[in-house]
Amino acid sequence: MPSDPPSHPPSHPLEARHVLEFPGGYTRSTGPVIGRFLTELRDRRIVGVRTAGARVLVPPLEYDPDTGEAVTGEYVEVGPAGTVQAWAWVSAPRPAHPLDRPFAWATIRLDGADTALVHAVDAGGPKAMRPGMRVRPRWRDRTSGTITDIECFVPEVTMITAPIRTEYRVRPGAALTRFLERIGDGVLLGGRCAGCDQVYVPYRTSCPACGALIEEEREVADTGTVTTFAINNLPDPRAPEVPFVSAYILLDGADIPMIALVGGIPAHEVRQGMRVRAVWVPPEERTMSMADIRWFAPTGEPDADLSAGTPGGGA
Amino acid sequence: MRDVAIVAFAQTTHTGHDAGLTEAEMLHPVIDEVRRATGLSRFGFTCSGSCDYLAGAPFSFVSALDALGAWPPISESHVEMDAAFALYEAWVRLQHGDIDSALVYGFGKSSTGDLREIMTLQLDPYYLAPLGLDQVSYAALQAAALGGDRPDLRAALDEIVRRSRADGRANPHALDLPDPSGEDAEVQPLRPYDVAPITDGAAAVVLAAGDLARELAENPAYIGGIAHRAEPHYLGVRDLSRSPSAADAARAAGVGKAPVDVAELHVQFSHEELILREALELPEDTVINPSGGPLAANPVMAAGLIRLGEAARRILDGRAGRAVAHATSGPCLQQNLVAVLESAPRPQEGAGRG
């Protein structure tokens, strides 16, 4: 197939290597039109030539490809940027190719030109290529007046990555501090709005429904019911392994579910209505954070019926 | 114009590897076959097509004359192109009227070198060749201009290759290639199977004019029209998704004047069939490349002549009334030759000088 070396039957004893080469290269005169282009290229400028019909040919030809007439003597600087028209991706460069890593061949219409230049584009991967993309030449360190003075074209800058990092010192606020203090004691603390008769967990000092001050602390159970859940396949520093399950758990005695990890059970067996209990880390290892609850694990009780209002609520 | 017809055609059993024969050794049985078919041992004119860069030796085509026997001296010419263009030269020579027969042959062994890079040597030495732009790469640029990786284009290309390879398996002269498979790109958007296989082979055709054509063949394949046209060489000044030169040649050859039973197209990359079908304005019911075409066997420098031979063969054996043959040269279908072959000579102007 095409990338393979010429195919042979098993090596023949009389098979010989034959090389055709012009040592030092074959000398060719450029003529005035191509010579002008290559001379300008050596000075890192790209020029086209104007036809009698006022089109600009890049690279310049001695004749107008539409009419066959000789071109005018007027040279116009174009580019250096241009627009990709069509491209073909080379994933396995060959020794004679201009780049030794994957690249695209492209027809590129340089700004100010009416025809396209064929050259290579160093774009990293084929996903970076698209018709209409803007490119600019990458010049060789030393130019000598050949088309390869342009090593290749590279995409114009259209994106940057902006590093952002800043540090803070945060504290949990009064209500959450109170909640976390009790977590350290192995207790889940809620707050009851007297007006709404709703128990919120974690504890908070105002009712999100009516706005009234919450004055009554209410301890709730560390058992509850999974109301909904998600199986996470992306690692998270707060989870022990992937996949892990994060779930809304309606604690017994609360009216609003709380989000927490579920563990101790294969992820695919977690279900709505499943009864769970907090797995606390030993008291001496507690840090007054949610990490004091390793996760919620199944209690083994029959599943609760979620359609029946508040399952396990107010127990 | 004189009526000129293809009266004999022969080709090698092409191989995907070097079978251990020189070009002359490969060619000789084919010349012998058309000599036997016509009963002619000498011809008014001989013209061949080959490429010295395939063998990597200057004037390598001269040694192929050993396959002919060129003594006493024969009237002979050569084109450094596919032999289809040698056939055109022979057709012109027959129009002079002083001779009635011509032998045309082409041959090539792609197995000995690296065809992709040999074809770089045909590019202009200032703007394209120094980039190392190889044959598959510039063909891929043309496929990209046609629509790149569009799913409908990919499906059409797959079907062209599948059909060509299936037809090739039924053609004893072509290679046995499996149905296309695999999604890896050769040069994106082309896949390895979109590229004609490396092939060694040769072919020969005998042209005869006037009465001699009727004497040599029961059903001569008359050349009703033949023309070739070229486009600018540099790829960036062309709309690569179209082939205006093939369209011009088809009009000049008169393709559209009557229905076409069969078309043999010089398709070296699958997407070229789509471009050529449109350029030649071939009707939907025309059978394309029933031989498998170059996607099933591509002896470079003979493959275009084989299109003329395969199209003619269907008229010679009475299976088709009107056929079209196409041959190409240069990067991305730069130059295109189109011939119309018919079972009857042209109505009146073609009476010729016999």
Measured in residues, chain B has a length of 354
Both A274 and A208 in a single domain? yes
Helix (H, G, I), strand (E, B) or coil at B98: coil
Smallest Cβ distance to B141: which of A34, A105, A148? A105
CB of B56 less than 8 A from some CB of A? yes
Compute how many other C-beta atoms are within 10 angstroms of the C-beta atom of residue A211.
Answer: 9
Q: What is the pLDDT of residue B56?
A: 85
Whether residue A11 is contained in a domain is answered as: no
At A314 the pLDDT is 39
Query: Where residue A12 falls among pLDDT bands split at 50, 70, 90?
Result: confident
Answer for the pair B31, B68: CB distance below 8 angstroms, yes or no: yes
pLDDT confidence of residue A9 = 55
pLDDT of residue A315: 35
For the sheet containing B4-11, what is the strand order? B76-79, B45-49, B101-109, B200-209, B4-11, B221-230, B335-342, B322-329, B262-264, B287-288
pLDDT tens profile A261-273 = 999 999 999 999 9
Which of A147, A149, A150, A153 best probes binding to B when mutated, by most B CB atoms within 10 angstroms?
Answer: A147
Give the C-alpha separation, B176 to B169, whole Å. 5
Q: CB–CB of A88 and B232 under 8 A?
A: no
Considering only residues A20 and B329, tell me which one the structure prediction assigns the higher pLDDT: B329
Cis check: omega of the bond before B189, within 30 degrees of 0: yes
> Same domain for A192 and A256?
yes
Q: Is residue A26 part of a domain?
A: no
Residue A310 has pLDDT above 70, yes or no: no
* CA distances to A63, A98, B118, B166, B168 from A155, in Å: 31, 17, 31, 43, 43
- CA-CA distance, B304 to B196, in Å (whole number)? 13
CA distance A96 to chain B (A): 5
**Confidence (pLDDT) at B322:** 96
Using the CB atoms, write b or e for B13-32: b if 16+ within 10 Å. Answer: ebbbebbebebbebbbebbe
Q: State the greatest distance between any 2 C-alpha atoms of chain A, in Å, as a whole number.
A: 102
Q: Do B145 and A86 touch (CB under 8 A)?
A: yes
Sequence-ordered alpha helix ranges (H) in B56-134: 60-63, 83-95, 115-118
Return d(Cα A118, Cα A108) in angstroms, integer: 6
Query: What are the tens digits of pLDDT across the range A101-121?
Result: 999 999 999 999 999 999 999
B126, B145, B195 member nearest A2 (Cβ):
B195
Answer yes or no: is A19 within a domain: no
pLDDT at position B349 is: 52
Inform me whether the pLDDT recorded for A308 exceeds 70: no
B230-254 average pLDDT score: 96
More confident residue, A216 or A207: A216
Q: Flag if A5 and B113 touch (Cβ within 8 Å).
A: no
Q: Which residue has the higher pLDDT, A237 or B173?
A: B173
Strand ordering across the sheet containing A216-220: A198-200, A188-193, A216-220
Looking at every residue in chain B, the average pLDDT score rounds to: 93
In a domain, A21, yes or no: no
- Shared domain check, A185 and A102: no
Q: What is the mean pLDDT of residues B143-167?
A: 93
- Residue A204 within a domain: yes
pLDDT score of A16 more than 90: no
Q: Which domains does chain B have, with CATH numbers?
A: 4-113+197-341 (3.40.47.10)
d(CA A104, CA B260): 40
A315 within a domain of the structure (yes/no)? no
Q: Average the pLDDT over B152-161 and give the result.
A: 95
pTM reported for the whole predicted model: 0.74
| A204-213, A293-302, B122-131, B194-203, range with the lowest pLDDT | A204-213
User: Which residue range is the domain that position A43 belongs to?
Assistant: 31-155
Please give the residue that has the higher pLDDT: either A307 or A54.
A54
pLDDT band at A48 (very low <50, low <70, confident <90, very high): very high
Q: What is the mean pLDDT of residues A225-232?
A: 94
Strand, helix or coil at A124?
coil
- Please give the Cα distance from A265 to B276 (Å, whole number): 64
Q: What is the mean pLDDT of chain A?
A: 89
Distance (Å, rounded) from C-alpha A32 to C-alpha A187?
Answer: 91
Residue A199 has pLDDT above 50, yes or no: yes
A141 and A183 part of one domain: no
Residue A285 forms part of a structural domain: yes
Question: What is the average per-residue pLDDT within B304-329?
Answer: 97
Q: How far is B130 from chain A (nearest CA, A)?
A: 7
- Indicate if the pLDDT at residue A312 is higher than 50: no
Q: For residue B216, give how far its alpha carbon lies from the nearest alpha carbon of chain A (Å).
A: 40
Are residues A100 and A63 in contact, defined by beta-carbon separation less than 8 angstroms? no
The answer, yes or no, to whether residue B352 has pLDDT greater than 50, is: no
Alpha carbons B335 and A7: distance in angstroms, whole number: 29
The yes-or-no verdict on residue B1 having pLDDT over 60 is yes
> Strands across the sheet with A75-78, in order?
A56-57, A46-50, A75-78
In this prediction, residue B351 carries a pLDDT of 42
Q: Percent of chain B, pLDDT > 90?
A: 85
| Residue B76, Cβ density class (10 Å: 0-12 exposed, 13-18 middle, ≥19 buried) | middle
Number of domains chain A contains: 2
CB contact under 8 A, A88 and B144: yes
A117 vs A96: CA distance, rounded Å: 19
Residues A294 and A180 in one domain: yes
Is the CB of residue B208 less than 8 Å from the CB of residue B312? no
Same domain for A55 and A145?
Answer: yes
A34 contacts on B by Cβ (under 8 Å): 126-127
| B348 has pLDDT over 70 | no
Confidence of residue A165 (pLDDT cuts 50, 70, 90): confident
A265 and A291 housed in the same domain:
yes
Does pLDDT of B164 surpass 50? yes
What pLDDT is attached to residue A20? 87
